[in-house]
Amino acid sequence: MKDASQILQKHPDRIPCIVTRSQRSTLPEIDKHNFLVPRDLTMGQFMYIIRKRIKLPEAMSLVLMSAKNNAMFPQDISMSLVYDQYRHTDGFLYLIYTGENTFGESDCTSCVPCEERITVNNVVEKRP
**pLDDT digit string (tens) for 5-20?**
899 999 999 999 999 9
Gap between the Cα atoms of 89 and 93, Å rounded = 9
Would you state the pLDDT for residue 20?
94
Q: 69 Cβ partners below 8 Å, 6+ apart?
A: 86, 125, 126
Higher pLDDT pick, 106 / 59 = 59
Q: How confident is the model at residue 106 (pLDDT cuts 50, 70, 90)?
A: very low
Domains, in order of start, for the chain = 4-126 (3.10.20.90)
| Per-residue burial over 42-66, b = 16 or more CB atoms within 10 Å of its CB, e = otherwise | bbeebbeebbebbebeeebbbbbbb
Gap between the Cα atoms of 115 and 42, Å rounded = 26
pTM of the model: 0.76
Contact 11, 3 (CB under 8 A): no
Would you state the pLDDT for residue 109?
46
Does residue 110 register a pLDDT over 70? no
Q: 26-30, 54-58, 94-98 — which is least confidently predicted?
A: 54-58
**Which neighbouring-strand residues pair with 124?**
72, 119
- pLDDT, tens digit, 9 for 90 and up, residues 36-95: 999 999 999 999 999 999 988 777 888 999 998 889 999 999 999 999 999 999 999 999
